Every structure is written in structure tokens, then in C-alpha cells.
Amino acid sequence: MALSDILIFLGLPSDLYRIWKYKPYIFGDFLCKFLFYLSETCTYCTILHITTLSVERYFAICFPLKAKTTITKCRVKRVILSLWGWALLTASPILFLFGVEHRNGSLPDEAKECNYIERSARTGLLETMTWVSTIYFFLPVLCLTLLYGLICGKLWRTRHKLRGPQAASREKYHKQTVKMLAVVVLAFVLCWLPFHIGRILFAQTTTILYDITQYFNLIAMLLFYLGASINPILYNVMSQKYRKATSKILNYSQVWQSRNLTRSERTSLEGTEVSSVM
């Protein structure tokens, strides 16, 4: 999920350029298609990862013994690869939906736009992908609501049954994890809901409402990128394990850099000694 959130930002320079100067689009047809495809793939992948994490928490809390034998590192890797593969596949029609073209007849360089291709709107591909994207958002939200309802019910029923320090510690950890994921899901809904509403309006709008939808889509785009950047912040604030893991990675990076620096200094010193002997 972290990788998909990072990759989303590759499309930010292109989007900022389109806000500043909508046409002509100077980066070419390939980059136009690729950035839309990358954004769509990463969006789908983030949604699938959030849903899968919630399913994993549901099994870990409601069926802990079964989860220990079922959820292994090997299977987790396979699931992650499967999610990426499914996201790449289901986002592939975007490559035929967007491109660089002129809106009226000929193709003068001064009027090229990176937008949906008119042919795709006539064939129904634009409307189809709008509904696919909408289902990708609202169906997981419904699933997440159901899962968290079941998890909260389980924690509520077992709050007086647990005994001992280990059980209390486990319950505290589960509650903290559920709280963190619930905040992540809430931020996800608030930041990405306008984006999907904007898509529906864009696909269905008339010429009269075009300017209104453009302003709405601008706000939705800002929230979309905010949603991609807010997850690491939430994890750092709410998860002690995440902070420890981040600190461990940073410390490892510092040790690795210091070793390389020491090695290069040693090599430089040896070279100086050899040259002085000669």
C-alpha cells in the first residue's frame, strides 16, 4: 500500500501542469496514457490493500487460532502480488480511454489535450470505467463497514472474559489496531469520495455544468493526493510498531551510509599511501 501511495505522486507534476496550462499538452500521448493508467492502478491497489488489511484484522481478532495457521508470510506475499496483478488488469482499459487529441476535427499542436478520447465516450467505455471505478470504491466501503461492525461486536462481547496480563495486552493491541485502521478508512473515505463523485459528474455532466464540475474536480484532486500522503502520517501517530519499524529502517540506512563512507575513506587513504611510496 505504501508503494501504491508513493507511485500516485508520479502523476502530480502532470496534473499541476494541466492546471497551469491545460493545452497544448507537451508530454506526448504515451505519458498521458501511462500516468492515467498508473494513477488508476495505484488507486485500485490502495483500496484493495485497505480492504485486505481489514479482512486480516477480522480473522486475527474473531478467529485467532485459525488466523495463526492460515495467515503466513508466504501467503501474504502471494496475496499482495495477486492484488497488484488484479489492479493492473482491471485498470488496463484506461489505456484506451485517455490520450492526446484535438477536440474538433484536425490536430493542431496548439490545441492538443490530455483527456478522454471522444471515441471512447461514443463507444460507452468512459461510462463503463466510471462505474467500475465507482464500484471499486463503494463496494469496499460497504465491506469495511460490515467488517468493523463484526470486530467491534467481538471485542465488546469478550471484554469481560479475558483474564491475565497477556490477554489484557492482546486486547489492548487489538483495540489500538482497529482504531488505527478505522481512522485510515475514515480518512480514505473523506479524501477519495469527492474524487469519485467528480468522476460521475464529469461523465454525466452537460455543457452548462462544465465549469462547476471543473472547480469541483480541482478540489477533489487536491483531496485525492492528500489521501495518498496522509496514511504514513496516521500510522506514525497511532502505531507504536510502525514507529519502531520506521526507526529501525532509518537506523539501518544510517549504518549502511556510515559503512560506505568509512570504506571510501579507507580506500582513499590506501591510495594516498601507495602514491607517497611511489
CB atoms within 10 A of CB 163: 8
DSSP state string for 57-88? HHHHHHSHHHHHHH--HHHHHHHHHHHHHHHH
- What are the cell numbers at 127? 461510462
Residues 6+ apart with CB under 8 A from 161: none
Question: What is the structure's pLDDT at 88?
Answer: 92
Residue carrying the nine cell digits 496514457: 33
The architecture that CATH gives domain 2-253 is Up-down Bundle (1.20)
In angstroms, rounded to a whole number, what is the distance separating the alpha carbons of residues 53 and 70? 14
pLDDT along the chain (278 residues), means of 10: 74 75 75 87 87 84 79 85 92 85 57 73 79 85 85 72 61 70 79 78 58 70 78 68 63 56 50 43
On whether the pTM is more than 0.85, the answer is: no
Q: Where are the domains of the chain?
A: 2-253
User: Which of 54, 77, 42, 10 is closest to 184 using CA atoms?
Assistant: 54
